[in-house]
Amino acid sequence: MVIVIAVEMLFVISVIYFLIGMKKSSQHEIIEVVIAKAWQNRFAKIDLIEKCTSYIRRNEKYHIYSEKKLEKKKKADKKQIDAYAANEEKYLEAKRIGLVDLIPLFGYNFCSVLGLDAESDLLRNLMISCEQSGYVELERGQETNGKKNSVIYSYYILASVISYVYMGVMAGLFLFLLMLFLGKEFGVSLAVALVVVAVMAIVGYLPMDALKNKALNRKEEIDRDFPNVVSKLVLLTISGMNVSNAISQTAQSGDGLIYRELAMVVKESGQSVSLEGALTHLQSRCDNKYLDKLVTLISKSFSSGNANLAEDLRGLNEECWLEKKHSARRMADKVQTKLFIPTMLMFVGILVVIIIPVMSGFNLGI
């Protein structure tokens, strides 16, 4: 009985605190939530477009789908892309705001209570993931409360996680009490409550996990192709081509992620952004230590009149390929370690298959 009363009090206090946290929300926070929801639909649209482009290219090369199945898949994806675009417009025009969309507002208040700001490691790492996710919108400035786009979106993602976990705790307490009142056992009631908390926590964490995975996948793809890019830049600069043209030619020589990023550098530098500024933007979008060295070398060459740039790039090229060899070796070691257990299990299975008949024959002989 004491436990039930304590849980009841805890549930009432948690609900009151949640409502107070929601009530404390400022207008700027509401605007940021609406903008973040619009971005979320935009990014889902971008991801789906990239996915469509990828399977269309694979189908052209390997003929995975029949024409009928491919058209059906493209139409279904086109319908979903249009839906994401429509939702984005509705959020930006404040025509699609529901109570569920405002759930993260509690998390904003909780972040301020915990003292989580842009200087905290958690939010800083999340902002880096935002900027390296490939969503260019998150890299540029936004006039909402003077914050960068990556700050706005990372706050929204973290606030969503906190809010959903807190709501999961409230829902878990409520179900725990309800099941006890219905005569269920304490252990069963507690298990149901914990499952609800876990489910809500997973729902809140999924956007953060997707963002981090996208940034990680981009890093792996860039690391894989970057040595080839540097090699091409070395050849072009040695032949006497200037840096701008060398980057432009290299961008057109492939269709991988790093080549598309270089094409964006060329596009930006052809507009109102200098080449150095465009390369700085590239650094914020891509996580690669050799890319940072490349940008430093190119920036240095502008101040020194391209002196020794080709030699510096050649040295960087050697470093990149050496690192790629080490990475391949480390990957091979990981695969070998992962294969050790299945190999041992197969070996034991083979021994069992051989030894049991032999032992059976030996016993029969006796």
pLDDT at 366 over 50: no
Distance between CA atoms of residues 39 and 45, nearest Å? 10
Gap between the Cα atoms of 193 and 199, Å rounded: 10
Contact 177, 54 (CB under 8 A): no
SS3 label, residue 97: coil
- Tell me the one-letter amino acid at 194: L
Predicted confidence at residue 148, as pLDDT, reads: 86
DSSP type of residue 120: S
pLDDT > 60? residue 358: yes
344 pLDDT band, cuts 50/70/90, is: confident
pLDDT at residue 63 tops 50: yes
> Which residues fall within 8 angstroms of residue 40, CB to CB, at 6 or more apart?
207
Lowest mean pLDDT among 83-92, 238-247, 260-269, 331-340: 331-340
- For the cut 70, the answer to whether the pLDDT of residue 363 exceeds it is no
Cα(212)–Cα(217) distance, rounded to whole angstroms? 9
Q: What is the DSSP string of 195-239?
A: HHHHHHHHHHHHHHHHHHHHHHHHHHHHHHHHHHHHHHHHHHHHT
Of 180, 165, 167, 169, the residue nearest 3 (C-alpha): 180
Q: Which residues contact 169 (CB under 8 A, 6 or more apart)?
A: 14, 197
The token duo for 28 is 């700027």
